[in-house]
A and B are shown apart, each in its own frame.
Chain A
Amino acid sequence: MGLKEGEHEVSMNEIDFIDFTDINVDMAGASEGYTISKLSLPVSNYDGLTMSIGVPSDLNENLPSDFSSSHPLARSSEHWSQWNSYIFSKLEGKYDEDNEPTQLEGNYVFHIGRDEMFRTIELDDLDIALKPDSGTRITVEIDVKNLFRLSNGSYLDLETQNEIHGDESGEALSLQISNNWLTAISIQ
């Protein structure tokens, strides 16, 4: 994540791990969201925000055991050795298979990773004024529905596509979801 002032960019942090597992279970949790605090950024009037989804290729060469346990990249659950890559995003959940919404029996699991899935989102024309000794909150919205879009504008059919297979169809779906991140994120 970084803040932009014209062409100039100030990095906010090399890497963060954002986990919505415990938050995104109901509306209240989803709107409360997840807060990341960054301290001591240079005071300025910024006009843009950049955010990447994934692990940049130089860091992606590492393994979880290369980091001390508190580092976001130390999580072995977020590394997939068969790809030699960190998992950049995990989209997992349940859907209703039999139109009886009391139980959601269908499962979907979309794990995205590998260097070619790394995406950077640039949000411009913003007005982020950091003042000395005071906090500023930037609210980033993720429209999860957009992550399930197909290139023709329709949505994924979870009954037929609910995981990413190690074949061509899986590759296409991975690329689609990676690209979807670019449209799913906005500033409130």
Chain B
Amino acid sequence: MTIKKSSHILLFGIIIISSCYNEIYTDNVIAINDLSGIPYEPEPYIVNIPAIFPELEVPADNPMTKEGVQLGRRLFYDPILSADNSMSCSTCHEPDKNFTDGFSTSFGIDGIAGTRSSMSLENIGLFYNGLFWDGRAQTLEEQALEPITNPVELNNTWENVIEKLKEDDDYPQRFRKAFGIESRNEITKELAAKAIAQFERIIISNANSRYDQFNRGEIFPTDSEYNGFDMFFDISPDLPDAECAHCHGGPLFTTNEYINNGLDEAPDLNDFPDLGRGAITEYLYDNGKFRAPSLRNIALTAPYMHDGRFETLEEVIDHYNSGGHYAENVDPLINNLGLNEEEKGDLLAFLLTLTDTTYLSNPDLSNPFE
């Protein structure tokens, strides 16, 4: 390992000072490797969180700093993380699509389709009940390690990524500024993951959608939007209850619970095509359960569900209205709702009031390579 590493750096030296003697290369290797001359003075990064949202909890060993966020931002948008330099995190988590990719299921670098649909990263730092559709990662730091090696994602090895980061002209000084490392050799996957997690924690939306505005009494919703709101939150006895808020309630429009919302018929609990939560907990009654996603900006993240089976929100509403498919563990709130065409239209109109992309204008969220 060590030998391979220094030979790369030697090559770098040769290009720059090809006419020098051997001894000088050696000096140069030390000079390049040693980062301690670069100041390490991280400044705290203050994340603006709307008052109605829960508090941002940050792990004690990964405080938010401007330098860490900027490093994480670069890593997030940089195809350097993939085996063939073709894809970055942002390929499947595009800001324009509210950090999803627009496909039913995502494709990795070799064009192989995965089995799950990309998830939005909006407000991801505020979700505390596990990550991924099945909750297999607990923290963003842990989560960020996975896409690099996942064959249907970046299909790389961390050794390879770290090697590329160490040889890079720019990254070593950024790791120094963010984490105080003293030499290139101290770049690790854990530090890279910490930086990415810091960046992900600033992906916080503004709570300024039409819904938020009428919730604060600043605007009047249309009649159709209001009826949809009423049904979403089961408010008035005069309109049917759509029950949505039981699972997609609260300021983030999700309870983050693992639930079977009746997508697949499963006479036996082992019959689900994707076991979801059950594959992680190995508990029979968790089979076919997935995390309820946030409905903020839901109009921007088609197709829908863990496998992207529904192209449109109309199809989603039809699914719930039908009462879904039988399995013993389908949530009892999934029932035939009896909404007529007008009521379905009203519910849709309400879902569209949850759109608000103003947060994307935060310059720290944009692609630094563009």
Contacts and interface: CB of A to CB of B under 8 A. Distances in A.
Given A105-B326, A109-B333, A167-B237, A74 B54 contact: yes
Contacts of A107: 332-335
A9 interface: no
B76 to A, nearest CB: 24
A79 B250 contact: yes
Given A68-B55, A76-B252, A108-B332, A25 B236 contact: no
A167 B252 CA distance: 28
A109 B241 CA distance: 13
Interface string B213-234: 0000000000000000000011
B333 A25 contact: no
A76 B255 contact: yes
A6 interface: no
Interface residues of B, number: 34
A103 interface: yes
B40 interface: no
A82 B52 contact: no
Contact of B285 (A25, A76, A163, A165): A25
B251 A93 contact: no
A107 B267 CA distance: 16
Contacts of B332: 92-94, 107-109
Interface string A57-68: 000000111011
A67 B126 CA distance: 12
A65 B55 contact: yes
B55 A81 contact: no
A166 B234 contact: yes
Contacts of B55: 65, 68-69
Contacts of B250: 64-65, 76-77, 79, 81
A167 B257 CA distance: 28
Contacts of A80: 245, 249
A108 B335 CA distance: 10
B331 to A, nearest CB: 8
Interface in A109-136: 109, 111
A93 B331 CA distance: 8
Given A82-B234, A93-B332, A69 B57 contact: yes
Contacts of A43: none
A165 B57 contact: no
Interface in A71-104: 74-77, 79-82, 92-94, 103-104
B283 A65 contact: no
A32 interface: no
Among B52, B250, B252, residue most surrounded by chain A Cβ atoms (within 10 Å): B250
Contacts of A111: 246
A14 interface: no
A111 B328 CA distance: 21
Nearest to A163: B241
A68 B55 CA distance: 7
Scoring B57, B237, B247 by chain A CB atoms within 10 A of each residue's CB, the highest score goes to: B237
Nearest to B55: A68
A75 B285 contact: no
A65 B251 contact: yes
B359 interface: no
B235 interface: yes
A117 B247 CA distance: 22
Interface string B280-295: 0001011000000000
A7 interface: no
Nearest to B126: A69
A165 B237 contact: yes
A68 B254 CA distance: 17
A107 B337 CA distance: 13
Interface in B40-57: 52-55, 57
A22 B283 contact: yes
Given A103-B328, A166-B236, 4 more contacts: A76-B254, A77-B257, A92-B332, A104-B328
11 contacts: A22-B285, A64-B250, A65-B53, A65-B54, A70-B128, A76-B250, A76-B256, A81-B233, A94-B332, A163-B241, A167-B237
Interface of A: 22, 25, 63-65, 67-70, 74-77, 79-82, 92-94, 103-105, 107-109, 111, 163, 165-167
The list of the 10 closest CB pairs from A to B, nearest first, reads A76-B250, A77-B255, A107-B332, A69-B128, A65-B54, A167-B237, A92-B332, A109-B332, A76-B255, A166-B237
